[in-house]
Amino acid sequence: MNSRTRLWVGSLLVAGALLIVACGGGSSGGDSGGGLTVSSDGENLAYKPASLSVAAGSSVSLTFVNESAAQQHNWVLVAGGDDVALTVDEAALDAGPPNYVPAGDANIVAATNMVAPGGKATITFTAPAAGTYTFLCTYPAHYAGGMKGTLTVN
Ligand SMILES: [Cu+2]
């Protein structure tokens, strides 16, 4: 191999490596690129995990996976604790189907649409100030049944 050929092969290798890096970054952005995943817990009215944490002010990509075979669920983060969650849950009942999410409610930080059994949804939001926030499912009677969790913002 003469030096010119070697240079050409070297350039090809560098270009190939860059291409692989670029493709890898693109495909991992959805799930593992610093994002959170939370699921419903089978047929229980519960989330797993029930505790999540993020950094204040960070851009959060959250994927909610509905592992139930029969029930609809969503994931709604409220701007406070259980008292605010209760208020949002009541407003959600008034908002009604399909999403049970009151539009423009200042008590809601982020919310997925209602997710069908076996489905999933990804949302992006900016983490609020440091503190402890409740998330819940606003499908009727699910919050009362215990479908809630805690997001800790550090
Ligand atoms: Cu639910």
| 136 vs 75: CA distance, rounded Å | 6
**Close Cβ partners of 14 (under 8 Å, ≥ 6 residues apart):** none
Q: Are strands 47-48 and 36-40 parallel, antiparallel or unpaired?
A: antiparallel
pLDDT at 56: 97
Statement to judge: residues 56 and 1 lie in one domain: no
Q: Is pLDDT of 40 > 50?
A: yes
Q: What is the CATH number of the domain that holds 45?
A: 2.60.40.420
- Helices H / strands E in the chain, number of each: 2, 9
Percent of the chain past pLDDT 90, that is, above it, reads 77
What digits encode the pLDDT tens for the residues 87-121? 999 999 999 999 999 999 999 999 999 999 999 99
Q: How far is the CA of 96 from the centre of ligand 1 (A)?
A: 14
CA of residue 58 to ligand 1 center, whole Å: 26
The pTM (predicted TM-score) of the whole model is 0.79
More confident residue, 33 or 127: 127
Q: How many domains does the structure of the chain reveal? A: 2
CA distance 122 to 5: 48
Share of the chain above pLDDT 70, in %: 78
Say if residue 59 is in the same domain as residue 22.
Answer: no
Same domain, 55 and 94: yes
The answer to whether 66 touches 122, Cβ cutoff 8 Å, is no
Indicate whether 63 and 134 sit together in one domain.
Answer: yes
**pLDDT-derived band of residue 31, with 50, 70 and 90 as boundaries?**
very low
pLDDT at res. 96: 97
Looking at residues 22-48, what average pLDDT do you find? 68
Ligand 1 center–CA 115 separation, angstroms: 9
Could you list the residue range(s) of the whole structural domain that residue 19 is in? 1-30
Q: How far is the CA of 13 from the centre of ligand 1 (A)?
A: 51
Give the Å distance between the CA of 32 and the centre of ligand 1: 25
Q: Answer yes or no: do 148 and 114 share one domain.
A: yes
